[in-house]
Amino acid sequence: GLLTATDTLAPQAFGAKNYREVGLLSIRGFVVCVLAVLPTNILLFFFLRPILLFFKQPLIPSALGSQIYRVYILGLPFYVFFLVVWKFLSAQEKMKPLLLSTLL
């Protein structure tokens, strides 16, 4: 959701031969996404179990859910990076790397 503006702005900049702007849009998109999700995820990383228990969830699923979330959250920056690179390459109409990364 936060990177949808890149879908419009990056191809426009690439079409105008403003290649520097395409790169800057990608960098800005990555920084904005990481800064937007970082506070919430730091909070959930440390306090997900107490939050689940506050909402009357069972003890064992709350503990397991918080453990799974801690593993899941480690991959989030890499997923955001993947999305930014995906949009950066699709703005330049380079489909072969996108196809290979999808197949892997």
Of the two residues 3 and 54, the one the predictor is more confident about is 54
Residue 86: which residues within 8 A CB-CB, separation 6 or more?
A: 98, 101
- What size, in residues, is the chain? 104
| pLDDT band for position 25 (cuts 50, 70, 90) | very high
Residues 91, 6 contacting (CB under 8 angstroms): yes
Number of domains in the chain: 1
The domain in which residue 16 lies consists of 4-103
pTM of the model: 0.78
**pLDDT at residue 98 in the model:** 80
> What percentage of the chain carries pLDDT values higher than 90?
64
pLDDT digits (tens, 9 = 90+) for 59-94: 999 999 999 999 999 999 899 999 999 999 988 888
How far is the C-alpha of 86 from the C-alpha of 16, rounded, in Å? 20
The pLDDT, as a whole number, for residue 24 is 94
Give pLDDT, residue 103: 83
- pLDDT exceeds cutoff 90 at 102: no
The percent of residues in the chain predicted with pLDDT above 70, rounded, is 100
Tell me the C-alpha to C-alpha distance, in Å, between residue 37 and each of 6, 12, 31, 57: 18, 27, 10, 24
